[in-house]
Amino acid sequence: MPRKRLEEFVELAHFNLDGDSIRLLPLGFCARNGCVVLDRVEPGDISPVTLGMVEPYEQAVVEALAHRWGRPVDAVPLNQYEVDRALDVGYPGTRDIEGLPTLDMRAPEPGPEASSAALLNDALAHAIGKMASDLHIEAYPDDVDVRIRVDGVLHQLTTRISPSNLPGVVGRVKALASLDLAERRAPQDGRFRTIVVDGNHRSLRDLRVSILPGPCGEDVVLRVLDTVSGLRPVTKLGLDKEGSAQLVELLENPEGLILVTGPTGSGKTTTLYSALMELQTSTRKVITAEDPIEYWLPKINQKQVGPKAGLAALTRAFLRQDPDVILVGEIRDEDTAVAAARAATTGHLVLSTLHSADPVGTIVRLQGLGLADDIIAEALMAVVAQRLARRNCDACLQPAFHTEQQEELFGPLIDGLESQRGVGCDLCRDSGYVGRIGLFEVAILSPALRDLLCANASPSELREELHRSGHRTLLDDALTKVAEGLTSLDEVMRMIPRRMIAAQVALSRGD
Ligand SMILES: [Zn+2]
């Protein structure tokens, strides 16, 4: 096996997976460090040991093993799915159970002398039990604030975590995520996998860890990631029939850039992964560059962005790997924008996300990142703008009357609209909402739009053209979902910026 550079990519099939060699490393160690021995290791040999790693840039593990074995270790990048598959050869049927930390959903309430592990278990069990997306632990001079985010809204948790035991809890999180325990002044990111035990039921959860030092201690945010089973096909995302048909058709294109846009927490990643699942069934080669990788998918070559391989560098390296489809986690700088546009105009379907409010805002943002109008017109195929609104609780749904402020803001857009909202009950914990629903806008760059873009049209001219062509905006989709009783007008006001509503009112008055 020739030495591989990090920029190159490997196929699992190229290695002689060998159970005895894989078992040289305990399963718990492999699970914690995302690594596996790939080639047969002959005792007494001094040739390099090939180690497949999710994070091959983590030199500490490589160096420790090289020291322990007294021979060089070559780290090659694999994704978690590939590492797991290789581990199955050495540890058949046991991989998901052994070596991973457990989270006991039915652990007793921690007492005053509870251990750090018990305190963290308690907070995480509350978060997972209430289907929270995040757990926030924040340090203040004489208090620790513990909150969970459920359906996009933060709720306070009552726990025994206090300023005196917080360092222990943070240490426990760091240990689980294999972070530097001694580092208390710099932000750290990581992740760990845990087995959630609820009576006889066991399931796997991935947690993403972010630690940020502050004046009173380190703040911790744990994001609960769904496993692959939580992902939905494109047709189940909440797009209307036309929208999901459009998206499926877009994904069949051999080249072009499709951007999913919206603010943080708008479900962009879920949509991208649903798109990947759609592509996975096809015969195309898919490569992703992500930071961080949120879901592991089978048969997809997923790469973690690292300090030595940025998004732009990875995207450029991908082109040499002859993929059909490239997913770039997020476009946030000029380098990545240029690399993505280049890939999209040289025979690749490129999927990515961008922070912007709507399709025209996306074009403005790409211009701001330094892409020329003609490049955008050539590369950009479509924009999917989205938000996540809270879904009305069916159990306490009542007709809702529009307020004066709403009449004034929405004007003709809500003439004759019958809206409803939950008044609050036990089921929805008096919030009127249960779960969330996606609001979508799919904009395909038409020849007319491309021409306008190349002729330096202003954003309002681009919006007028979209309006003329009968385009359905995010707000149209939101108001349809209000009319269907799925969400409330209050939620629409919370999700959609006022200026976007005002612009659409002006356009509809101009008809
Ligand atoms: Zn209710």
Please report, as a single letter, which amino acid is at residue 146: V
pLDDT above 60 (res 345): yes
pLDDT tens readout for residues 381-430: 999 999 989 999 999 999 999 999 999 999 999 999 999 999 999 888 78
In the block, tokens 């990142």 appear at 369
CA distance 146 to 151: 17
Instruction: Give me the torsion for CA of 17, 19, 20, 25, rounded to 10°.
Output: 90
Region 58-86: what's the mean pLDDT? 82
Query: What separation in Å is there between the alpha carbon of 482 and the centre of ligand 1?
Result: 16
For every residue of 43-91, which 3-state class applies, written as one string?
Answer: CCCCCCEEEEECCCCCHHHHHHHHHHHCCCEEEEECCHHHHHHHHHHHC
Distance 391 CA to ligand 1 centre (A): 10
User: Does pLDDT of 1 surpass 60?
Assistant: no
Q: Helices then strands (H, E): number in the chain?
A: 18, 19
Q: Are 472 and 486 in contact (CB under 8 A)?
A: no
**Any idea where the domains of the chain sit in the sequence?**
12-90, 102-225, 230-509
Fold of 102-225: Beta-Lactamase (3.30.450)
pLDDT band at 226 (very low <50, low <70, confident <90, very high): low
Centroid of ligand 1 to alpha carbon of 207 (angstroms): 30
Q: In the chain, what are the helix, strand and coil shares in percent, each to the nearest 5? A: 35, 25, 40
- d(CA 149, ligand 1 centre) in Å: 18
Residues 157, 146 contacting (CB under 8 angstroms)? yes
CA of 424 to the centre of ligand 1 (A): 4
Q: Which helix (H) or strand (E) holds 137?
A: strand 134-140
pLDDT higher than threshold 70 for residue 490: yes
Q: How far is ligand 1, taken at its centre, from the CA of residue 421, in Å?
A: 9
Alpha-carbon distance of 472 to 279, in angstroms, equals 26
Q: How far is the CA of 477 from the centre of ligand 1 (A)?
A: 23
Q: 500 CA distance to ligand 1 centroid (A)?
A: 30
User: What does each C-alpha distance from 501 to 387, 414, 475 come to in angstroms?
Assistant: 15, 11, 7
At 310, list the tokens: 């940025």
What CATH number was assigned to the domain covering residues 12-90? 3.30.300.160
Residues 422-466 pLDDT 10s: 999 988 878 899 888 899 999 999 999 999 999 999 999 999 999
Cβ–Cβ under 8 Å, residues 290 and 302: yes
1 Cα to the center of ligand 1, angstroms: 61
- What are 357-386's pLDDT values in tens digits? 899 999 999 999 999 999 999 999 999 999
Would you call 108 helix, strand, or coil by DSSP?
coil
Tens digit of each residue's pLDDT (9 = 90 or more) over 138-190: 999 889 999 998 877 889 999 999 999 999 999 999 999 888 999 998 899 88
Q: Which residues pair with 286 in a beta bridge?
A: 325
Q: How far, in Å, is the centroid of ligand 1 from the Cα of 434?
A: 7
What integer pLDDT is reported at residue 231 of this predicted model?
62
Non-local CB neighbours of 505 within 8 Å, separated by 6+ positions:
409, 410, 411, 412, 413
Could you tell me if 353 and 269 are in contact, meaning their C-beta atoms sit under 8 angstroms apart? yes
**C-alpha of residue 396 to centroid of ligand 1, in Å:** 4
Give yes or no for a cis peptide into 163 (omega within 30° of 0). Answer: no
Structure tokens, 467: 């309006």
Higher-confidence residue of 294 and 274: namely: 274
pTM, full prediction = 0.66
For the ranges 305-314, 346-355, 416-425, 432-441, the lowest mean pLDDT is seen at 305-314
Least confident of 68-72, 79-83, 194-198, 378-382: 79-83
Q: Do domains 102-225 and 230-509 have the same CATH topology?
A: no
Give the pLDDT confidence score for residue 5 in this predicted structure. 37
**Domain covering 230-509: architecture:** 3-Layer(aba) Sandwich (3.40)
